[in-house]
Amino acid sequence: MKEKDGLRLRTGEESPLCPGPVNIPEPVIRAMNRNNEDYRSPAVPALTKTLLEDVKKIFKTTSGTPFLIPTTGTGAWESALTNTLSPGDRIISFLIGQFSLLWIDQQQRLNFNVDVVESDWGQGANLDILAEKLASDNSHTIKAICIVHNETATGVTNNLATVRKLLDDYRHPALLLVDGVSSICALDFRMDEWGVDVALTGSQKALSLPTGMGIVCASPKALEASKTAKSVRVFFDWNDYLKFYKMGTYWPYTPSIQLLYGLRAALDLIFEEGLENVIRRHSRLGTATRLAVEAWGLKNCTQKEEWYSDTVTAVMVPGYVDSSEIVRRAWKRFNLSLGLGLNKVAGKVFRIGHLGNVNELQLLGCLSGVEMVLRDVGYPVKLGSGVAAAAAYLLNNTPLIPSRI
């Protein structure tokens, strides 16, 4: 191992097993390896038209209207909020980890009246409190429910079907806005069936693209709300997009040509594998990772099985171990990128991402690397224990024909 000024000279490809940005498949890289094009030419609108239709499939919607915005998930959040709500509107938002916290911060800075429902980090959204608030809101002052489907910081997945049932049971007209950044195209997500009004994701997660495209999908109800919403928006204004959709040119400003071609290749790979197979693959990888954690004698940050995430596992470490050191050594010694613990769980957890362009063998390699690092920082793990537990499960649950990703 070469060293210079006390640091390793890192060679070879990095292995990102953090919860995003994730590995990019070779066909996607090749599709993006192209020069710029005139987005007003006939080719780009034709490509965009097919992308907008196919993107609806990963949201499982036939009635939703998608927007491909050159931004990140944070910009997609802002687009969802400002197009549907007015300053001062009361919204219920669930604080269960770092990313829900950041979305709440944005909501407050945009001058909404945010009714925060907080849970311990490692727990899901407290839907009992939501039921109480809906039951007492006879005058329908609540204009929206904002919820993170999969909280990446703690590996917690919320039950959106239950949220919709509560809204229906109380006949409440509030909009349902969902952050699906680390869930859509990896976990079961049903926009139409669950009555989601705005759903959003980012290109660098399950789609396995570079960062830079926020994908927002709006229901007819959300589009209707946008006609009276008084929040200031310019760059994120859906109306600008809709105008150009009608014209058949699609773009109110310059898109990333390379990302559009990358998205085309990414969707083709997903449809070739089959969206339901993609979801099942993530379920297998999530289960295998949790079995490895159990074999190591460590605990999952997620406190109940019903909240387990199939895209990221947050692993608790004993008090004498700094989880940040695990992440640092994994990167420095093995080119292995794991996720840090964030905010309240900083130094207490490290995160293994099993999201997007990753298969069974890649996961087993990651788990092997984690075991070596755990031993390196002084945790008495039995080498091979987690890998063996995961491999035994995968051997009996992986299709004979490997998934093509």
Give the pairing of strands 156-157 and 336-337: unpaired
Q: What separation in angstroms does the CA of 11 have from each of 2, 203, 278, 331, 361?
A: 9, 27, 31, 12, 21
Instruction: State the Cα–Cα distance between residues 332 and 222, nearest whole angstrom.
Output: 46
Three-class SS state of 67: strand
Continuous segment of H or E residues that includes residue 200: strand 198-202
Instruction: State the Cα–Cα distance between residues 321 and 316, nearest whole angstrom.
Output: 10
Residues in Cβ contact with 132 at an 8 Å cutoff, skipping those fewer than 6 apart = none
Continuous segment of H or E residues that includes residue 66: strand 65-69
Instruction: State the Cα–Cα distance between residues 278 and 405, nearest whole angstrom.
Output: 9
- Is 404 annotated in a binding site? The answer is no
Instruction: State the Cα–Cα distance between residues 344 and 293, nearest whole angstrom.
Output: 21
| Under 8 Å between Cβ of 119 and 147 | no
DSSP 134-197: HHH-TT--EEEEEEESEETTTTEE--HHHHHHHHHHTT---EEEEE-TTTBTTB---TTTTT-S
Instruction: State the Cα–Cα distance between residues 201 and 219, nearest whole angstrom.
Output: 15
| Under 8 Å between Cβ of 352 and 287 | no
Instruction: State the Cα–Cα distance between residues 251 and 242, nearest whole angstrom.
Output: 9
Residue 154: closest CA among 287, 352, 336: 352
DSSP 86-118: -TT-EEEEEE-SHHHHHHHHHHHHTT-EEEEEE
Instruction: State the Cα–Cα distance between residues 36 and 387, nearest whole angstrom.
Output: 44
Query: 318-330 b/e with 16+ CB inside 10 Å = b?
Result: eeebbbbbbbebb
- Tokens, residue 359: 């298969």
Please count the other Cβ atoms lying within 10 Å of the Cβ belonging to residue 38. 10
Binding residues: 351
Binding site for substrate, residues?
A: 351
